[in-house]
Amino acid sequence: MKITVKLVRSGIGCTVRQRATLTGLGLKKPNQERTLVDTPQVRGMIQKVAHLVSWTSVED
């Protein structure tokens, strides 16, 4: 199972830790999307920056 993550709001004004999380998810610019494997680690990263991203579940 996979998750598509989209950066909805900019990381400007966020903490360094939140920006590092966005980089870890592979998101740099607003409206950029990445498809990632659904793991507990990825879910935790999405939860840390939930106010900046939107996500949808994708079937393989």
Q: Which residues pair with 35 in a beta bridge?
A: 4
Q: How confident is the model at residue 59 (pLDDT cuts 50, 70, 90)?
A: confident
Q: Would you say 49 and 4 are in contact if contact means Cβ atoms under 8 Å apart?
A: no
CA distance 26 to 29: 10
Q: Where are the domains of the chain?
A: 2-58
Residues 19-58 have pLDDT tens digits of 999 999 999 999 999 999 999 999 999 999 999 999 999 8
**Region 4-9 average pLDDT:** 97
CATH number, domain 2-58? 3.30.1390.20
16, pLDDT greater than 80: yes
The confidence score (pLDDT) of residue 52 equals 96
The confidence score (pLDDT) of residue 9 equals 95
**Burial class, 57, CB count within 10 angstroms (exposed 0-12 / middle 13-18 / buried 19+):** exposed
**Region 8-23 average pLDDT:** 95
